[in-house]
Amino acid sequence: MKKLKYFDISWFSSVDGPGTRVVLYLSGCHLRCPWCHSPHSWEISSPLFFFESCCHKCGICVDTCPNHVHSILNGTHLLDRSNCIKCGICIENCPSSDINKWNSGALGFAGKTTEVSELYQLLKPQLELLKEIGGLTVSGGDPLLQSEALSELLEICVKEGIHTTVETSATLGKTHIQDLLPFVDNWLIGMRPYKADKSEDRKQLLENIDYLANHNPKSITIRTPIIPGYTDTQSTYDTIIETMQNNNLDSIEILPYNPYSENYYKAMGLNFSLTGTQPPDNEKMEQIRSVFTSAGINAKIVN
Ligand code: SF4
Ligand code: SF4
């Protein structure tokens, strides 16, 4: 049986597919959008997280790390992640950290690799509870990167009568979509055309939307994050409307920018390029919604 790497589970979501859902967030994403609120999903193998506010500056990690990644100078804890071999020794020894809970202490690795059958057993009790009113949504990261193993999980869900949704950028090769197609009830397709979009990603997305729409256009909902300075432009809306009309798609969800991710970038030692950017207000979101409804598309704001 194959294994899946995931970095989070939400047990009760009302905004990620029809009804009430368990949401499984898989690791790995090739796009790295500058506004991403889950940068810890990018690498299949997690970087070392360091949350400064949880650190007691006891120096145990400095003494136990075999590769001298940690140092404390003049009361400041510094990390040289380029030397980290991800052995986990510092996390195991840190009095403020728990190797099984990556975001509840000073140090951690995001994500866990689990056999598909074991993962299903973990999800099963909640999925059984929600069976009549929702189901399982698999998000990420981009779930297509683990499509082979994911198809095994979704096949079990289908056998057990669990409704399935996959949220993806749909910018990977069609074979990944084909792996999953027999086991997916509906698709949430992220579409966020903006100036610096790679043309090959856009081309693949259009090819995949065309392929999925030919199977069942009603199974597709487009999802677009409204990011100030990136996707809040008329050209973005026009591109989406044209794609949707060409493929007989009639449903879009627009999501205001989520500004609460900077801490993750900091904890991973990464720069965050949207510092200070504010989410669009309700009035602006309503205006954008009306752009789509005027084009005959069902548009919903998802907060
Ligand atoms: S990260 Fe943990 S072990 Fe290292 S100084 Fe901070 S509290 Fe101590
Ligand atoms: S994971 Fe290992 S190599 Fe990396 S900082 Fe911790 S102890 Fe050092």
**Cβ pair 89, 64 in contact under 8 A:** yes
Establish whether the linkage from the previous residue to 141 is cis, with ω within 30° of 0.
yes
Cα of first residue to Cα of last residue in the chain, in angstroms, is 37
Ligand sitting nearest the alpha carbon of 50: 1
Per-10-residue mean pLDDT of the chain, 303 residues long, equals: 93 96 96 89 87 96 97 95 94 93 88 94 97 96 96 98 97 95 97 83 94 92 96 95 96 94 90 93 97 98 94
Please give the distance, rounded to the nearest whole angstrom, from the Cα atom of residue 90 to the centre of ligand 2.
Answer: 5
Rounded to whole angstroms, how far apart are CA atoms 23 and 49?
23
**Residues spanned by the domain of 58:** 48-109
Q: Is the CB of 84 under 6 A from ligand 2?
A: yes
Q: Is residue 82 located within the same domain as residue 208?
A: no
Q: Is residue 53 located within the same domain as residue 34?
A: no
Please give the distance, rounded to the nearest whole angstrom, from the Cα atom of residue 56 to the centre of ligand 1.
Answer: 6
- Nearest one of 190, 278, 282 to 236, comparing CA atoms: 190
**Cβ pair 292, 237 in contact under 8 A:** yes
Name 110's Cβ contacts closer than 8 Å, sequence gap at least 6: 7, 8, 27, 40, 41, 46, 49, 102, 103
Determine the pLDDT at residue 196.
72
In this structure, what CATH number is given to the domain that contains residue 80?
3.30.70.20
Ligand 2, atom nearest to 91 Cα: 6
Please give the distance, rounded to the nearest whole angstrom, from the Cα atom of residue 88 to the centre of ligand 1.
Answer: 13
What total number of domains does the chain contain?
A: 2
Domain-located, residue 259: yes
Ligand 1 atom 6 nearest Cα: 55
User: Where would I find the H helices in 252-296?
Assistant: 262-267, 282-294
In this structure, what CATH number is given to the domain that contains residue 169?
3.20.20.70
Ligand 1, atom nearest to 70 Cα: 4
User: What six digits make up the tokens of 55?
Assistant: 């650190």
Please give the distance, rounded to the nearest whole angstrom, from the Cα atom of residue 81 to the centre of ligand 2.
Answer: 8
Determine the pLDDT at residue 277.
94
Ligand sitting nearest the alpha carbon of 78: 1
Q: Specify the pTM.
A: 0.92
Determine the pLDDT at residue 174.
95
